[in-house]
Amino acid sequence: MTVVINDFYGTIAGQPAYTPFQGGRTYSRILNDGSGVRAIFDFCAQSFREKTFTPDHYWDDHYRKAADWASYKERLHFEVLHKDDQTHLTNHAYALSKVGASLEELTHIPLKDLQHQCNSYGMGYILNRYFEGVETTEEGDLIVYYDQNGGIVHSGIYHACSSTNSGGSVESRWTRGASGNRYVFEHEFFFLPPPLGDVAKFFRAKKTLPASNAPLKHIGDPMFEAQEDGSFAFIPTEANKKVRETIEKTKSYRLPEIYPQIEHVSDINFFGVCFMYAMDKIFKSNYDAVKSEVREGDLCGGGTSEFLEKYFVPVSTPQEGDLAVYSSSWGYRHHFGVYIGEDRIESKWGCLDVYRHPPFYVDPCDGDRLTYYRLKEQSQR
């Protein structure tokens, strides 16, 4: 069943609206239409605040009564579908699990790694790469909720249902932030707590992804040259030094204006520093198992690193997904990134944003020597 956007999508669902952070047709709450919506908002807000502190058996009964009340008072669709034992999943990761098979087929990435990408980099990262916005709804579409500032706060799965007030219903887990909620609900579009969004938009997985043209070999560059030990050394010409000095003195967000070779990756929201980001990106969903071994003193120092020796081997010809380690000429490691092909590295600059850049388009303090490492399990394939 396909439902086409019309002028009114139900009292609770909201109506089509153009918003500055979307640039397309979306749905918004109706806050003052005099039909008792405010009472529903108050109920949702109260339940959202108190649920964490209330025993499960109470909420089973409470939400059942709420569904009866809503159906009687407003003829709304709301029910507790089930308890989900996977409490580690965020509301976004739960929604992705419902479209997991198609996403895996599209991306060739296991669902658990896609969910890890979502948790690490944010839902916007997933949407930008694997989905496209749609203005008609179909069974199984992803519905994403935004706050008034354009931030993504909630997501669920659309179900076509002619018996609802909205012409459809949403399956979602009510959580905000990390995890913990065990309940999955089926509800009208906006019969959910106000903190979970005032604007909604539909997405559908892309049919195909553009083929990667990133070569799995290193391309020559006038900024560095290969060394006998397999590493690469910065060539300190005046022109090369000027590039790095400019990077050092310029605020990072302005650098793409000066050097188009540097790309600001705006859809990644990752909290942590360079080596945390690099290890998370390389280990993917297995990162939690080794996170306790990732210590700054071990990685960002001179001499050998227990972690690097345990999990990696140095390589002289990098391929996509290898670890890039920057060090000084006296051996101290200062910066970490991930090789993404075409002589480009993706790295997080300190506590700031993530950038894609040529190997030595970095701050001079990051070092003048670059060594690539490959996970041992991948080097043996």
Q: Give the contacts of 356 (CB within 8 A, at least 6 positions apart).
A: 262, 263, 265, 340, 344, 345, 346
Lookup: tokens for 129: 């790469």
Query: Residues 137, 286: one domain?
Result: no
Reported as a single tens digit per residue, the pLDDT across 20-31 is: 545 566 677 655
The Cα 24–Cα 190 span in angstroms is 19
Q: Out of 205, 233, 251, pick the residue that ends a domain.
A: 205
Query: Residues 64, 123: one domain?
Result: yes
Integer angstrom CA distances of residue 246 from 81, 238, 262: 57, 12, 13
29 in a structural domain: yes
* Cβ atoms of 371 and 358 closer than 8 Å: no
User: What type of residue sits at position 166?
Assistant: S
Integer angstrom CA distances of residue 371 from 225, 226, 318, 335, 345: 12, 10, 9, 11, 12
User: What type of residue sits at position 281?
Assistant: K
216 in a structural domain: no
The Cα 76–Cα 58 span in angstroms is 22
Nearest to 157 by CA among 179, 142, 135, 175: 142
* Cβ atoms of 91 and 174 closer than 8 Å: yes
Task: Note the pLDDT of residue 6.
Answer: 37
* Cβ atoms of 361 and 264 closer than 8 Å: no
Nearest to 337 by CA among 311, 315, 362: 362
CA dihedral 22, 96, 93, 77 (to 10 degrees): 80
Q: Which helix (H) or strand (E) holds 346?
A: strand 344-348
The Cα 147–Cα 169 span in angstroms is 20
Half-sphere exposure of 35 (CA within 13 A, CB side): 14
Determine how many CB atoms are found less than 10 A away from the CB of residue 350: 12
**Residue 170 belongs to domain spanning:** 2-205
217 in a structural domain: no
Reported as a single tens digit per residue, the pLDDT across 250-289 is: 988 889 999 999 999 988 989 899 999 999 999 999 998 9
Query: Rounded to two decimals, what is the model's pTM?
Result: 0.80
Nearest to 243 by CA among 350, 139, 363, 153: 363
b/e string for 135-153 if b means 16 or more Cβ within 10 A?
eebeeebbbbbbbeeeebb
Task: Note the pLDDT of residue 327.
Answer: 96
How many domains are contained in the chain?
2
Query: Residues 285, 192: one domain?
Result: no
Query: Residues 47, 175: one domain?
Result: yes
Q: Out of 143, 176, 205, pick the residue that ends a domain.
A: 205
* Cβ atoms of 331 and 302 closer than 8 Å: yes
Query: Residues 40, 142: one domain?
Result: yes
pLDDT per residue as tens, the chain (381 positions): 333 333 334 444 455 555 554 556 667 765 544 444 455 555 555 555 555 434 344 445 554 555 554 444 455 566 667 666 676 778 899 999 999 999 999 999 999 999 999 999 999 999 999 999 887 788 999 999 988 788 899 999 998 876 555 567 889 887 755 555 667 888 877 777 777 887 888 899 999 988 766 655 555 668 999 999 999 999 999 999 999 999 999 988 889 999 999 999 988 989 899 999 999 999 999 998 999 999 999 999 888 999 999 999 999 999 999 999 999 988 899 999 999 988 899 999 988 899 999 999 999 999 999 999 999 976 444
Q: Out of 163, 178, 205, pick the residue that ends a domain.
A: 205
Q: Which helix (H) or strand (E) holds 344?
A: strand 344-348
Query: Residues 235, 104: one domain?
Result: no
> Strand, coil or helix: what is 80?
strand
The Cα 42–Cα 47 span in angstroms is 9
Reported as a single tens digit per residue, the pLDDT across 205-238 is: 999 988 766 655 555 668 999 999 999 999 999 9
The Cα 11–Cα 237 span in angstroms is 67
Query: Residues 126, 254: one domain?
Result: no
Beta strands in 165-322 (DSSP E): 168-173, 183-187, 199-205, 224-226, 232-234, 263-265, 312-315
Query: Residues 161, 265: one domain?
Result: no
Task: Note the pLDDT of residue 186.
Answer: 83
| β-bridge pairing 183-187 and 142-146 | unpaired
